[in-house]
Amino acid sequence: MVSGVVANIDYLGLSDVWWCDMEAQRQGGRGTIIPAGRGVRLPDRFGSTPVDVAGRRYRCRLWDSADGTMHIEAHWTERSGAPGRLDATITLPDGHESLNVVIPWNDRMFQYTSKHQARPARGRLTVGDDQWAIGAQGDAWGVLDIGRGRWPMSTHWNWGGGAGRTTTGAVVGLQFGAKWTEGTGFTENGVIVDGRLTKIGRELEWTYRWDEPMAPWRVRDPGGRLDVTLSTRFDKHTKVNAVALRQEVHQVFGRWSGWVSDDDGIRHEFEHIDGFAEECRARW
């Protein structure tokens, strides 16, 4: 599992790469924080120009090809002193749909989010003498989370997703959110089956325990469109307590099992597809 972030929240910019070998329970990576967000330039239309962030012993570059393929190139130095490198592509199959929504909290605060699930990924992660080929021996999936908005000072959210193949061989992508959308009349919930999005406008029921994040996480639609459970393998627990930023996150990785139904009413069942779920409590 590999993740990367590039963000500008006005008074600071941040970028990082994190990786985890869940079989060996090893993790690593590096990042940088830039005061006032200097040098972290995000285009008005994502993908229209490259995004390039550099810091001490760290650099991350993202850009899109004309066909929609995202390229990720990152170099860093691990805390052990070992060099790290990520070269990856997240392709966009023809007709593959994403979930896009504006959440309006009030007349002054909003968030536009674009969630891309179940996009094929290829590449290589190198840390010191260790190498992992992404997608060389089977399916690998990329997730893109693109956002732009004006947030309240205190925020609280759930996010979950995953991708894999159903028991009949269809490609399914999961996209769930909660808490931050409640009361707005809008959600970021949906499922993708073979590239086609089925939007779910209701809030979903999340069942899990903050103080026991490695217990199973269940997400259920009270309207009867899905019921899935994440069996966890690793908890990425992050806690930041700075002057302007306080944040604590349990982001768990594991495998989803259950079923979803699409707009045609077809039920798709699956077992042990890779994915994640999280709860974040933040004060910006």
Task: Provide the residue range defining the domain that includes 267.
Answer: 153-284
Residue 99 vs residues 47, 115, 134, 282: alpha-carbon distances, Å: 17, 5, 25, 24
141 located within any domain: no
Give me the number of domains the chain comprises. Answer: 1
| Global pTM value | 0.96
Q: Where are the beta strands (DSSP E) in the chain?
A: 2-8, 12-21, 26-35, 51-55, 58-64, 70-77, 83-90, 99-104, 110-127, 130-134, 141-150, 154-165, 171-178, 189-193, 196-200, 205-207, 217-220, 226-241, 246-261, 267-283
Q: pLDDT by residue for the chain (284 residues), tens digit each?
A: 999 999 998 888 999 999 999 999 999 999 999 988 888 989 888 888 999 999 999 999 999 999 999 999 999 999 999 999 999 999 999 999 999 999 999 999 999 999 999 999 999 999 999 999 999 989 999 999 999 999 999 999 999 999 999 999 999 999 999 999 999 999 999 999 999 999 999 999 999 999 999 999 999 999 999 999 999 999 999 998 877 788 999 999 999 999 999 999 999 999 999 999 999 999 98
Burial class (CB in 10 A: 0-12, 13-18, 19+), 173: buried
Residue 29 φ/ψ region, left for φ over 0, alpha for ψ in the -120 to 50 degree band, beta for the rest: left
89 located within any domain: no
CA–CA distance, 61 with 73 (Å, rounded to integer): 5
139 located within any domain: no
